[in-house]
Amino acid sequence: MNTTVTFKTQKKLRDDAKKTAQTLGVPLTTVMNAMLRQFVRDRRLVLEDCPFPSHTPNAETRRAIRDVQHRKNLGKSMTFGEFETHVRSL
């Protein structure tokens, strides 16, 4: 037997969620049911702590991604040891 769950959320969030679900070809109800099933199954709530309001890459990141895809401006190759030393120096 199905039932209806009502909760409050921001209108923009609801609209964005509907659009995202549509681009995936599923209704928002399917998304919410999947999330509820996962919550019950895992018995935990995962709240991603993202310092950015969006996962959309900025212009600099998009440029870097294009460079890697086209193997341009990659800089010097490093061994893992060199990379580790470099990271630890930051």
Please write the tens of the pLDDT for every residue from 23-76. 999 999 999 999 999 999 999 887 776 666 666 778 888 888 888 888 888 877
The answer to whether the beta carbons of residues 32 and 40 sit under 8 Å apart is no
Measured CA to CA, the distance from residue 90 to residue 85 in angstroms comes to 9
* Residue 77: pLDDT over 80: no
- Whether residue 3 is contained in a domain is answered as no
* Residue 4: pLDDT over 90: yes
Instruction: Count the domains in the chain.
Output: 1
Q: Is the pTM of this model over 0.75?
A: no
Q: Which residues contact 31 (CB under 8 A, 6 or more apart)?
A: 17, 21
- Whether residue 31 is contained in a domain is answered as yes
Closest CA to 54 of 19, 21, 16: 16
DSSP tag of 71: T
Residue 36 — φ and ψ, nearest 5°?
-65, -40
Closest CA to 54 of 4, 20, 28, 26: 20
According to the model, what pLDDT value does residue 90 have? 85
**Domain extent for 35:** 11-47+54-89
